[in-house]
Amino acid sequence: GHCPLSHPLRVQKFGPVSLSSSFLASCPMAVASTMYALRSREQTARELHSPLVRITHVGSYACRNIYHRAQGRLS
């Protein structure tokens, strides 16, 4: 369709950090999210003596019209 993301990536995990479900992202968002997750893993390992191992999220950019309508803003 008219997805404004060119060549979106499906992110399934951040190295050793698993996700509750995969999501679509632009390349810059995928890189930034990975860096954030890996830095957070290191920080929690240092501070809490237990590394971050899983992130639960409730969704991301779906690249479709809201409610699957023919017209309307993208989700």
DSSP 48: H
pLDDT per residue as tens digits for the range 37-74 = 999 999 999 999 999 999 998 776 666 777 767 777 77
pTM for the structure as a whole? 0.73
Residue ranges making up the domain that contains 56 = 9-62
Residue 19 resides in a domain: yes
Asked if 4 contacts 61 with a C-beta cutoff of 8 angstroms, the reply is: no
**Would you say residue 1 has pLDDT above 80?**
no
pLDDT per residue as tens digits for the range 7-43 = 888 999 999 999 999 988 889 999 999 999 999 999 9
Residue 75 resides in a domain: no
Residue 25 resides in a domain: yes
Residue 74 resides in a domain: no
Residue 35 resides in a domain: yes
Residue 16 resides in a domain: yes
Residue 36 resides in a domain: yes
d(CA 48, CA 53): 13
Residue 53 resides in a domain: yes
